[in-house]
Chains A and B, each alone.
Chain A
Amino acid sequence: MTQSDPRFHVPAPHARPGDTPDFSHIEIPPAGEARKPAVDIDGSETRDLALGLVRVLDHNHQAVGEWDPKLDADVLREGLKHMVLTRVYDDRMLKLQRQGKMSFYMKSTGEEAVAVAAAMALDNKDMIFPSYRQQGILFARGRDIVDMMCHCISNSRDNLKGRQLPVHYTWAEGNFFSISGNLTTQFPQAVGYAMACQFKGEKQIAASWIGEGSSAEGDFHGALVLASTYKAPVILNVVNNQWAISTFQGVARGQGNTFAEKGLGYGLASLRIDGNDFLAVYAATQWAAERARAGHGATIIESFTYRADAHSTSDDPSGYRPKAEEEKWPLGDPVERLKQHLIGLGEWDEERHEALEKELNELVIASYKEAESHGTLHDGPLSPTHTIFEDVYVEPDWRLRRQRQDLGV
């Protein structure tokens, strides 16, 4: 492809299908190098952290540096369990989607730490404004797996009455807000929610996630303006998994160096972290939460990671990126890294890991059996048809009552 006028610039990734995966251009600073400032630091003084990369686990899987959250082995094992469960669940759900059991699915493979570690570092009361790839948060908060599956197969027990695409979970009891499907809309909403927490004098905070591609949306700017203007107790996460469906991250990043750097212009504390490092995600979230709760305002966190699988079941990455690129990702695999860390500590071993995978796999299979006993999208039973007219308003008005009659339900 030639470019006729060099003044017209369209950025391109380093490698395309047929090329050898190449991440040599990515600079990976050593683990433990980043400084950990006090939580009341001025956002403008976080430039080094926005341009660097907070890493805790080094190449030997040891925790190093100021950001090491020094977690108990029990907490680490719990994190590992949630991440393995997320992966096992995703793999099973993909298979089930391929068998026609659900209309659509989205895996979070490679991004488990981004969700699980953040959820564990937050208080369970903190409000989550997620995007569609943070199912790990639900596992970390202990949501019932059968309920999650019932939603995905839109059956009679779907807590959303079949109104949402699979994976677009809502779980009010777990302080997990609705997933829109329209991108970035939840970002400024989370700021409004956080402002309300502050208004009510509560210690609760809000956290939201978007992908790097959708940071190009106007709502990204809106969220950062609000968060900065009102010093809202919110954590704004940009999950840079390198790919927005088929579009590489350069198309949204533009001439900027990092996505975290965008926060500096708003005076927000801005961190860029290794998203495949459970300890880095945990420590950064814990830091940002403490900062927010203490009234020092919002933090934007870029989790640098890699989307190791397709965008969704409607996507085939072989059309736009080299095969097996995920295996070359310089920051490795988040599950494997935490597992090796625990093994290095003498708190885990291959046998236990295998047993855990087996146990969770059986749990997921058994859960699906139970979920299916409440119906499937294909064979029913679904929520009763008349429920499509419910919850549009508190009470259906005459139009909806008549239309329900017209449909004969």
Chain B
Amino acid sequence: MAKMNMIQALNSALDNMMEKDPNVVSFGEDAGYFGGVFRVTAGLQEKYGLDRSFDAPINEAAIVAMAIGMGVKGMRPVAEIQFADYIFPGLDQIVSELSRIRYRTAGQFTTPVTIRTPCGGGIRGGQTHSMSPEAFFTQIPGVQVVMPSNPYDAKGLLISAIESDDPVIFFEPKRLYNGPFDGDPGKALETWGKHPKGEVPEEHYSLPIGKAEVVREGNDVSIITYGTLVHVALAAAEREGIDAEIIDLKTLVPYDIETIAKSVNKTGRCIVAQEAPRTSGFGAELAAQIQEECFYALETPIYRIAGWDTPYPHAHEWAYFPGLTRFTTAMREVLEA
């Protein structure tokens, strides 16, 4: 075991996979020589050579298309899109191509491609460096959608993503790269140093895609969330002394309905939380599915925590970000209802 932050854990996953499988290559804007603007691919070019880790032109459609072509030829490309906000020029290649190659060729060709991309706010990134566009990608049959919330999961899930024969959109909540974040921007920065999930094996291991984790057991309310908000939910429950059960989804497609339903059937109360705008967000899917599965166990309506239906503001970032207050308000409302 070693102490790693999420950047180091992701780097370690790439390192393990590039060592293990010569078909794994990594590329993206600034992702080669320099090692990426967040340093996730640092040192890989030096260690594995120019043809295994290289810089790509600023053209997200071309980056995804290049990965598709390489995947079809039997490689396992890992493409970095520098910010999730920049993924949209590549959307056609993801929606119409990457996701459907297996289907439209009836399995004659496949695209074992991983697209890594930093997402989410909390770093003063303004409207073009803060988005959480994960829900868009859950509407695309054929791709898996993953978003870890800590270094240990990030490494194990990235390895699974690269090893998967199906494409994966791998969201990295960038506010968590250097430490957990409880939603209070006034506090001094925490590191992963003291966090149990900052203990990461240096060797290869994988975590299953599609499996959620109960990160806090409780009996009074289930909070279903993923990414940065997992830490905010935990902090809110601690601060309020509420017996909340908190589930870190980790995978959005396919999400772990079994773990979710088991929890909600136990607690009878449910909050779904996302950083993305509220309307048609992933929380809406969760709420709909949970009421189908758990309707008779529910004692109160499902409560949605989300970003506002506005672009991500710069100066008023903390008015937008679903922080501690939004969680404590939600828990009180659900418990008092």
In whole Å, how far is A318's beta carbon from the nearest beta carbon of chain B?
32
Task: Let me know if A189 and B72 touch, CB within 8 A.
Answer: yes
CB-based contact B72/A180 at 8 Å: no
For B75-107 the 0/1 string (1 means CB < 8 A from A) is 101000000000001001100110001111111
User: Could you mark each residue 243-259 of chain B with 1 if its beta carbon is under 8 Å from any beta carbon of chain A, else 0?
Assistant: 00000000001100110
- In the bound complex, residues from chain B placing their C-beta under 8 Å from that of A187 are 65
Does the CB pair A189–B68 fall under 8 Å? Answer: yes
Residues of B within 8 A of A182 (CB): 92, 96-97
Chain A residues within an 8 Å CB radius of B210: 397
**Are A399 and B254 CB-contacts (below 8 A) given A189-B97, A219-B62?**
yes
Q: Is A284 an interface residue (CB 8 A)?
A: no
**Whole-angstrom distance between the alpha carbons of A188 and B79 in the complex?**
15
User: Which residues of the partner chain A approach B178 to less than 8 Å between Cβ atoms?
Assistant: none
* Closest residue on chain A to residue B110 by CB atoms: A394
> B167 to nearest A CB, angstroms?
9
A200 within 8 A of B: yes
Asked if A180 meets B105 with Cβ closer than 8 Å, knowing A188-B61, A190-B69, the reply is: no
Assembled-state Cα–Cα distance A194/B68 (Å): 11
Separation of A229 and B109 alpha carbons in the complex (Å): 26
Q: How far is the CA of A195 from the CA of B59 in the complex (A)?
A: 17
Could you say which residues of chain A place their CB within 8 Å of the CB of B257? 398
- Is A185 at the interface (CB under 8 A from chain B)? yes
Contacting residues, chain A, for B59 (C-beta < 8 A): 218, 221-222, 225-226
Are B165 and A180 within 8 A (Cβ)?
no
Q: Are A218 and B89 in contact (CB under 8 A)?
A: yes
Say whether A258 faces chain B, with CB atoms less than 8 Å apart. no
Q: Is A199 an interface residue (CB 8 A)?
A: yes
What's the interface size class on A, roughly? 35 or more
Please report the C-alpha to C-alpha distance between residue A127 and residue B70 in the assembled complex, in whole angstroms.
Answer: 12
- Check B105 against A226 for contact (C-beta < 8 Å): no
> Nearest chain A CB to B129's CB is how many angstroms away?
22
CB distance from B252 to the nearest CB of A (A): 12
- Asked whether B69 lies within 8 Å of A188 as measured between CB atoms, the reply is yes
Q: Select A199's contact among B51, B62, B106, beta carbons within 8 Å.
A: B51
Q: Say if the beta carbon of B57 comes within 8 Å of chain A.
A: yes
Measured CB to CB, the nearest residue on chain B to A193 is B69
Given contacts A172-B108, A177-B109, contact A185 B96 (CB under 8 A): yes
B66 touches A (CB below 8 Å) = yes
B interface footprint on A193-219 (CB within 8 Å = 1, 0 otherwise) = 111110110000010000000000011
Which chain A residues (158-179) contact chain B, with CB distance < 8 Å?
A: 159-161, 163-164, 168, 170-172, 177-178
Shortest B106–chain A CB gap in Å is 5
Q: Which of A180, A206, A221, A397 has a CB less than 8 Å from the CB of B69?
A: A206
| Interface of chain A residues 381 through 409 with chain B (CB within 8 A) | 390-394, 397-399
Chain A residues within 8 Å of B25, by CB: 199
Contact A394 B165 (CB under 8 A): yes
Report the Cα distance A185→B89, complex, angstroms. 12
Complex: A189 Cα to B73 Cα, angstroms: 10
A392 to B140, CA, bound (A): 10
- Is B166 positioned at the interface, with any CB of A under 8 Å from its CB? yes
Which residues of chain B in 166-204 are interfacial with respect to chain A, using CB atoms and an 8 Å cutoff? 166
A191 close to chain B: CB less than 8 A: yes
Residue pairs across A and B with CB atoms within 8 Å: the count is 139
For window 288-315 of A, CB contacts with B under 8 Å fall at none
The answer to whether the Cβ of A192 comes within 8 Å of any Cβ in the partner chain is: yes
Interface string of B40-69 (1 = CB under 8 A from A): 000000000001000001010110011111
In the bound complex, residues from chain A placing their C-beta under 8 Å from that of B69 are 129, 188-196, 206
Contact partner of B61 among A164, A178, A195, A219, CB < 8 A? A219
Chain B's interface size range is 35 or more
Q: Which residue of A lies closest to B65 (CB)?
A: A188
A223 contacts chain B at the CB level, 8 A cutoff: yes
B62 touches A178 (CB 8 A): no
Q: Does B74 contact A (CB under 8 A)?
A: yes
A316 CA / B275 CA spacing, docked (Å): 50
Q: Are B62 and A391 in contact (CB under 8 A)?
A: no
Whether B103 and A192, one on each chain, are in contact in the complex, defined by CB atoms closer than 8 angstroms, is no
In the assembled complex, B144 has its CB within 8 A of some CB on chain A? yes
Contacts of B311 in A (CB 8 A): none
In the complex, are the beta carbons of A391 and B57 less than 8 A apart? Answer: no
Instruction: Please name all residues of chain A whose beta carbon is closer than 8 Å to the beta carbon of B144 when the two chains form the complex.
Output: 393
Q: How far is the CB of A51 from chain B (nearest CB, A)?
A: 27
Set A196, A394, A399: member contacting B75, Cβ < 8 A: A196
Assess whether B301 is interfacial by the CB under 8 Å rule.
Answer: no
> Given the complex of chains A and B, what is the CA–CA distance between A161 and B108 in angstroms?
12
Residue of B nearest to A158 (CB): B106
The answer to whether B106 touches A392, judged by C-beta atoms less than 8 angstroms apart, is no
Q: How far is the CB of B292 from chain A (nearest CB, A)?
A: 10
Q: Which residue of chain B has the shortest Cβ distance to A162 in the bound complex?
A: B106
State whether B65 touches A196 (Cβ < 8 A).
no
Smallest distance from the beta carbon of A136 to chain B beta carbons, Å?
A: 21
CB of B61 within 8 A of CB of A218, answer yes
Known: A199-B75, A225-B57, A393-B144. A178 touches B104 (CB 8 A): yes
Pick from A170, A191, A194, A219: contact of B109, CB below 8 A. A170
Is A197 touching B97 in the complex (CB atoms < 8 A)? no
* B35 close to A (CB within 8 Å): no
The answer to whether A193 and B70 touch across the interface, beta carbons within 8 angstroms, is yes
CB neighbours of A394 from chain B (8 A) = 102, 164-166
Contact A163 B70 (CB under 8 A): no
Let me know if A391 and B61 touch, CB within 8 A.
no
CA distance A399 to B57 in the complex (A): 37
Contacting residue for A393 out of B65, B67, B106, B142, CB 8 A: B142
B72 to nearest A CB, angstroms?
6
**Contact assessment for A164 and B72 in the assembled complex, using a CB-CB cutoff below 8 Å:** no
Complex contact A160–B92 (CB within 8 A): no
Q: Is the CB of A200 within 8 A of B101?
A: no
Q: Could you say which of B51, B74, B102, B105 has the most chain A C-beta atoms within 10 Å of its C-beta?
A: B105
Which are the 4 A-B pairs with shortest beta-carbon distances? A192-B69, A222-B62, A188-B65, A196-B73
- Chain A interface (Cβ within 8 Å of chain B)? 127, 129, 159-161, 163-164, 168, 170-172, 177-178, 180, 182, 185, 187-197, 199-200, 206, 218-219, 221-223, 225-226, 229, 390-394, 397-399
